[in-house]
Amino acid sequence: MIGLGEHAEFIIAAYAGIAMGLALVIGWTLAAARSTRRRLAELDTRDRSDRA
């Protein structure tokens, strides 16, 4: 690791903020994807059993 010079805290804060922001966006996208997929599977099975 290199030294970040006199303004290290700002560089670290910027990258930490980006990491947090990206984690938030990715996590939120994946969570939404998973929950809708589960709900759709649930509805599909119920739909099929209703029709049968």
Partner 1 sequence: MSIETAPKISWWNRLAHPGQFVALTRPLVWPLAALTAVLFAAGLWFAFFNSPADYQMGDTVRIMYVHVPTAWLSQFVYATMAVSALGTLIWRHPMADVSMKSAAPLGAAFTAMALFTGSMWGRPTWGTFWEWDGRMTSTLVLLFIYLGIVALWRAFDDQLRAARVVAIFTLVGAVNIPIIKFSVDWWSTLHQPASVFTPEGPKMPGSILTPLFIMFFAFTFLFLVLQLVAMHTEVRRRRIATLERRMARGSAA
CA 28 to chain centre: 4
**Interaction pattern, residues 33-52, with partner 1; x per rule: CB under 8 A:** x--xx-xx--xx-xx--x--
Is position 1 an interface residue for partner 1 (rule: CB under 8 A)? yes
Size of the site for partner 1 (CB under 8 A): 33
Is position 18 an interface residue for partner 1 (rule: CB under 8 A)? yes
Give me the half-sphere count of Cα atoms (radius 13 Å) on the Cβ side of residue 25. 6
Looking at residue 23, its amino acid is A
Furthest C-alpha separation in the chain? 71
Is position 5 an interface residue for partner 1 (rule: CB under 8 A)? yes
